[in-house]
Amino acid sequence: MTDIVDERVDPVNMPGDVVLEARDLRVWYATDRGPVRAVDGVSFELHEGEILGLVGESGCGKSTLGRGLIGLLPEGSARDGELRFRGTDMLTLKPREQHAMRGRDLGMIFQEPLTRLNPLMRISEHFAETLKTHDKSISKAEIERRSLDVLRVMGIPPTRFHAYPHEFSGGMRQRLMIALTLVLRPPFVVADEPTTALDVLVEAQIIRILHDLRANYRTALLLITHNLGIIAEACDRVAVMYAGEIVEIGDAREVFSRPKHPYTRELLRSTISLRTTGLNFIEGAPPDLVEPPPGCHFHPRCPDAMKVCATRHPVEREHAGGSRAQCWAADFKDGLAADVPESERAPLNREEISVADEA
Amino acid sequence: MSSGSGSLSRYIAIRILLVIPMMWVLLTLVFFLLRVAPGDPVSAAFGGKLSEDALDVRRHNLGIDRPLIVQYLEYLGQVAHFDFGKTISDNRPVLDLVRDNGGATLTLTLGAFLFAIVVGLPLGRLAGRYRDSWGDIVIRIFGVLTYAAPIFWVGIMLVLLVVKLFPSWPTSGMASPITIFTVQPKTHILLLDAIFSGDGTAISDVLKHHVLPCFTLGLLLSGVIIRLVRVNVIQAMKGDYVEAARARGISERAVVRRHAFRNALVAVVTVIGLQVAATLAGAILTERTFNWPGLGTQLVKYILARDYIAVQGLVTFFALIVVLTSVTVDIINGLIDPRVRY
């Protein structure tokens, strides 16, 4: 994997232009009980050649956000807000125009590589189909050249080009999926837990490949994971998601060394390392997204919860160090919420928490 | 690696070799089941007419009073030389029986299959792709009705309807007497013989006679295929690779055709193969309804006569068709699905 370097377009560490920009993005699912607010007002931007990590517990809306960004949502779901790709709001485009952007402008790498390739089609057929979809006039030789190029970068020998998916190992299939996504050179790629189904050694290899993408292709990558180690290793910035909202976003090193939101702090405390002696966890479970708790969604589980947290939704504010967070407690600590009266700062007692939890 | 053609031909060869032990097991089963069943050819023909002693004399002459194992080994020895014996009740060679009547059953079943596949695959795919739409509901109702309606009832109703609307359309037999008289029996498959004769009126006459029986039998099968294809397309549409294909921007039409439908076919082909047995059973009913000179009609006759030799021979022939179909299905599956080959 060391020969990647010679193909690089100037390895630049500075992020480039904004590729993707979400403003107050919402993705709701229809259910019998009412809409599930899986993504509820998310704003962020992603630059060329930048890797943004997205972390959070299961069921907090990470995957929905990832799919919502490329428009790969099931029936009975809807997107609202603003989602700009290189300046154009994708949500105002016709479904056919949105469809045409998938693959070409917006790529996706999935969690389970074993089942993501059509078992009846050769690898070469997958590439030919993908390339032909976006360029009707592409020649056979061109298909082969471009496919083998990207396969070589992924470390798949050209002799295996005509093989079937079942003839590859899990790690190889994930590299094939990445190659299949990258052969179209999309400026933006979502990687939804790309290493969850793989063993640690392969995981490291895949993360390395993703990490090198920014230099190789200037790709903007949203890396969804619940492995904080991967974020620390591969990402420039990190967004922490809870109950459909981004509660904290900022430079990965800053967020990890000085977390502003109690949820981020607790999440970091819950990680396991070789030096771990006791297991830390956050009591309770993520809230029901049909009826999220009033005020801050995290307050029923928050060790720092105050009276204001149960009634008023926190505002996203920029803190020292550049991170942005939605948290009253962090605001007070950094002297940012002067308008909230002193009486509201009293700790929320347990009884009130449980009442609020039921509400 | 299974991408080479060598492994596929090896796979096919193994499949074909396996026919021999399968046929042996079937032959053995048929042999003993027939003899365990009450009655024998002698009592079926003369029971109540002759004394018990006279019946025993006839049984002795036929050799069916000998120990079963002796009869079994003798029969196996004959079959090994492709000699299926002569019928007990009317002394015809079983192979002649198969030759004279097998063609009619063959063209009836194949025609029904063709109809069922031509109707069933596209309708099932449509219903699966546009799940819960009006089209899907209509197709589903069609599928359930055709599957649930008894063949003889559908056949009789169709005959009544056709006789009323198109009085000249043939509703019985496989061809007009004149056609049977003029066409030279070369292959003993009337449809082929008519085609070889090059006589336009004979060909259209035979084809016309095929329409109603094939339609009746095919209707039953198309119901099964529709439901099967629909369920498997719906299943395949939920597949991870289908979502991944959509994520690459592949058009919905191509996603259905190349990804969902092809994967659905793997399961469908297997079950269609199994349906051959059901179709042969249906063919017997269809033949009775349309006075079709096929093997089914013959089989019923010989079963009533408890004609061991005839029934053994005919059932072996039916079994051979089922076995050969299952081999064909395995081969087709091997061609569609690279994971099957070994």
Which pLDDT does position B245 carry in this prediction?
94
Same domain, A193 and A298: no
Confirm whether A254 is domain-assigned. Answer: no
Asked whether the predicted pLDDT for residue B212 surpasses 50, the reply is: yes
Confirm whether A139 is domain-assigned. Answer: yes
Pairs of CB atoms within 8 A across A/B: 85
Whichever domain contains A152, its CATH number is 3.40.50.300
B337 and A167 within 8 Å at the Cβ level: the answer is no
Same domain, A224 and A124: yes
Same domain, A235 and A286: no
In angstroms, rounded to a whole number, what is the distance separating the alpha carbons of residues B335 and B193?
Answer: 32
Same domain, A105 and A176: yes
Which pLDDT does position B59 carry in this prediction?
85
Confirm whether A229 is domain-assigned. Answer: yes
Same domain, A227 and A319: no
B248 and A130 within 8 Å at the Cβ level: the answer is yes
pLDDT digits (tens, 9 = 90+) for A172-227: 999 999 999 999 999 999 999 888 878 888 888 888 888 888 887 889 999 999 88
B251 and A162 within 8 Å at the Cβ level: the answer is no
Q: First CA to last CA across chain A, in angstroms?
A: 54
Q: Please name the residue ranges forming H helices in chain B.
A: 5-17, 19-36, 41-46, 52-62, 68-80, 94-129, 134-148, 151-165, 177-182, 190-197, 200-237, 240-247, 252-254, 262-289, 295-304, 308-336
Instruction: Single out the residue in A220, A245, A270 at which a domain terminates.
Output: A245
Q: What is the rounded average pLDDT of the residues B284-311?
A: 88
Q: In Å, how far is A119's CA from the nearest CA of chain B?
A: 8
Residue of A nearest to B264 (CA): A120
Confirm whether A252 is domain-assigned. Answer: no
φ and ψ of A138, to 5 deg = -65, 140
So what's the ipTM on this one? 0.83
Q: In Å, how far is B322's CA from the nearest CA of chain A?
A: 27
CB atoms closer than 10 angstroms to residue A115: 17
Same domain, A167 and A307: no
Same domain, A40 and A165: yes
Residues 4-33 of A with CB under 8 A from B: none
Which of B2, B244, B262 has the CB atom closest to A110's CB atom?
A: B244
A115 and B250 within 8 Å at the Cβ level: the answer is no
Residue of B nearest to A186 (CA): B248
Q: What is the rounded average pLDDT of the residues B52-79?
A: 87
Q: Which 3 state secondary structure label does DSSP give B195?
A: helix
Confirm whether A89 is domain-assigned. Answer: yes
Per DSSP, the residues of B39-81 read --HHHHHHTTTS-HHHHHHHHHHHTTTS-HHHHHHHHHHHHHT
A163 and B263 within 8 Å at the Cβ level: the answer is no
Same domain, A100 and A167: yes
Confirm whether A180 is domain-assigned. Answer: yes
Which pLDDT does position A275 carry in this prediction?
72
Q: In Å, how far is B274's CA from the nearest CA of chain A?
A: 22
Which residues contact residue B133 at a Cβ distance below 8 angstroms, ignoring those fewer than 6 apart?
A: none
Residue of B nearest to A110 (CA): B244
**A106: enclosing H helix or E strand:** strand A106-109
Q: Which residues of A touch B254 (CB under 8 A)?
A: 129, 133
Q: What is the rounded average pLDDT of the residues B270-292?
A: 86
Residue numbers of chain A with a pLDDT score lower than 50:
1-12, 359
Q: In Å, how far is B270's CA from the nearest CA of chain A?
A: 16
Q: What is the rounded average pLDDT of the residues B223-240?
A: 92
Confirm whether A250 is domain-assigned. Answer: no
Judged by a CB distance cut-off of 8 A, whether residue A167 touches chain B is yes
In angstroms, rounded to a whole number, what is the distance separating the alpha carbons of residues B75 and A163?
Answer: 50
pLDDT digits (tens, 9 = 90+) for B135-168: 999 999 999 998 888 888 999 999 999 999 998 8
Same domain, A146 and A120: yes
Confirm whether A57 is domain-assigned. Answer: yes
Q: Which residues of A touch B262 (CB under 8 A)?
A: 118, 120
In angstroms, rounded to a whole number, what is the distance separating the alpha carbons of residues A61 and A247?
Answer: 12
Q: Which residues of A touch B264 (CB under 8 A)?
A: none
Q: Report residue A27 as tokens.
A: 């993705």
Which residue has tokens 């990890």? A256
Give the residue from A118, A147, A190, A192 with the most B CB atoms within 10 Å of its CB, the best one to mutate. Answer: A118
A72 and B250 within 8 Å at the Cβ level: the answer is no
Domain limits at A56? 2-245
Q: Identify which has the larger pLDDT, A272 or B117.
A: B117
How confident is the prediction for chain B on average, in pLDDT?
87
How confident is the prediction for chain A on average, in pLDDT?
86
Q: Which residues of B touch A121 (CB under 8 A)?
A: 258-259
B249 and A108 within 8 Å at the Cβ level: the answer is no
A133 and B337 within 8 Å at the Cβ level: the answer is no
Residue A324 and residue A255 in contact, taking contact as beta carbons nearer than 8 Å: no
Same domain, A83 and A181: yes
Domains held by chain A: number: 2
Same domain, A60 and A118: yes
In angstroms, rounded to a whole number, what is the distance separating the alpha carbons of residues B131 and B137?
Answer: 8
Q: Which residues of B touch A163 (CB under 8 A)?
A: 1, 3
Q: What is the rounded average pLDDT of the residues B319-323?
A: 83
B241 and A104 within 8 Å at the Cβ level: the answer is no
Q: In Å, how far is B272's CA from the nearest CA of chain A?
A: 20
Judged by a CB distance cut-off of 8 A, whether residue A100 touches chain B is yes
Which pLDDT does position A4 carry in this prediction?
41
Instruction: Single out the residue in A189, A214, A245 at which a domain terminates.
Output: A245
B245 and A118 within 8 Å at the Cβ level: the answer is yes
A102 and B338 within 8 Å at the Cβ level: the answer is no
Q: In Å, how far is B325's CA from the nearest CA of chain A?
A: 23
